[in-house]
Amino acid sequence: MERIYFDNAATTPVSEEVFEAMKPYFTEKFGNPSSIYKEAQETAGAIAEAREKVASIIGSDDEREIIFTSGGTEADNLAIKGVAMARKKKGKHIITSSIEHHAVLHSCEYLEKNLGFEVTYLPVDENGFVNPEDVEDAIRDDTILITIMMANNEIGTIEPVAEIGAIAREHNIYFHTDAVQAVGKIPIDVNEMNIDLLSLSAHKLNGPKGVGALYVRKGVKLIPQMSGGAQERKRRASTENVPGIVGLGKAAELAAENMEEKSKKMAEMRDRLIEGIEDNIDEVILNGPRGDKRLPGNVNVCFRYIEGESILLNLDMNGVAASSGSACTSGSLDPSHVLLAIGLEHEVAHGSLRLSLGAGNTMEEVERFLELIPGVIDKLRMMSPLYEG
């Protein structure tokens, strides 16, 4: 039986087309794009092309606004630390939410610990939404940056970034959004949404691991966090990862094609999964909102009385790859900070399961999954001292 890969929010396979686009840049077209000879000019050209493609899928018409990085994490780090260091004379206060990815949260903590910044971590409601009014209320005279993610990686909540962007613009505060999970899934326009900085990562959209990008609106200053050579207009040093960048460009281009249609199909599978789980298993909690404000590929549920890692292991033995916000898989003692932030109790949060759909999934896989999940849950609940049956 073919395995079912339902962990596309963790990473995705490189698509064949993307790999074909990257291939020449390993052994043949290998020149360092900073040099001036023929071998270099062909890679410099390839990077320029990729830059335009990436700019275009987020609505930027100036490819110089794109800085290539080593991934979503570096993009988040550069945006937050870079802006903070550049604006620290103006103020040392940052606003973010309590359900951001660790790349954002730990960048904020780094600024708190090493550079004396203050950070406000806004709460979210039971579906994971940040309230734009809370953002406005949190603004102080010394607020220099607001960073709120576009869509949450665990529970799929799509945040009201356009509204938050407008508030930020009105107060002359830079607005960064971590769009790693959103790019290629929902429409994005940095101008309409008043976004000043935006992070994305190639391996979440069938591009390669180890490459991402930060959009930086023209005129927004930041202190480079990778110090060294003059690459990326002196904003990000290090020899360019040419095949990676080419792969990101191609992946962006492909993701943009028929995005609406593809997302609609994914949403159908998502809704069927939710329905099938809720209909056949009792004491299930859906985490995150229903409908349009949920990422089309995201399902996140808690099964009471059992623990997430054991669900994952059982699913793996049954041929399904998925993930959980249980403490055991997060590498800490607490379960996911996102699940706790939406108000779940620890013991419930331990039993979470995230299914994230991707380009390769089919409705047949969804049905196959729905066949097997009740048995897995049942087996574990039979073992659980918390379950009364």
Partner 1 sequence: MYSDKVMDHFNNPRNMGEIENPDAVGQVGNPVCGDIMKIYLKIKDNKIEDIKFKTFGCGAAIATSSMVTEMAKGKDLEEALKISNKMVAEKLDGLPSEKLHCSNLAADALQDAINDYLNEKDKENNVSEESNA
Task: List the x/- string, 137-176, binding to ligand PLP by CB under 6 A.
Answer: ------------x---x-----------------------
Contact call for residue 323 and partner 1 (CB under 8 A): no
Contact 136, 164 (CB under 8 A): no
Task: List the x/- string, 348-387, binding to partner 1 by CB under 8 A.
Answer: --x-------------------------------xxxxx-
Q: Which is nearer to its own copies, 1 or 291 (CB)?
A: 1
Q: How far is the CB of 71 from ligand PLP (least distance, A)?
A: 3
Widest pairwise Cα distance in the chain: 73
The single residue listed with the structure tokens 């806004």 is: 122
Contact call for residue 197 and partner 1 (CB under 8 A): no
38-57 vs 242-256: helix crossing angle, rounded to 10: 30
Please pick, from the candidates 35, 41, 191, 239, the single residue that binds ligand PLP as defined by CB under 6 A. 239
Contact 59, 190 (CB under 8 A): yes
Task: List the x/- string, 47-76, binding to ligand PLP by CB under 6 A.
Answer: ------------------------xxx--x
Helices (H), the chain: 16-22, 24-27, 38-57, 72-87, 102-115, 132-138, 161-170, 231-234, 242-256, 259-280, 308-317, 327-330, 337-341, 346-349, 363-383
Q: How far is the CB of 319 from its own copies (least distance, A)?
A: 9
Q: Which is nearer to partner 1, 86 or 328 (CB)?
A: 328
Q: In terms of C-beta density within 10 A (0-12 exposed, 13-18 middle, 19 or more buried), how is residue 258 classed?
A: exposed
Contact call for residue 285 and its own copies (CB under 8 A): no
Active site (catalytic) residues: 328
Dihedral of alpha carbons 10, 226, 66, 29, sign: negative
* Site of interaction with ligand PLP (CB under 6 A): 71-73, 76, 101, 103, 149, 153, 178, 180-181, 201, 203, 212, 238-239
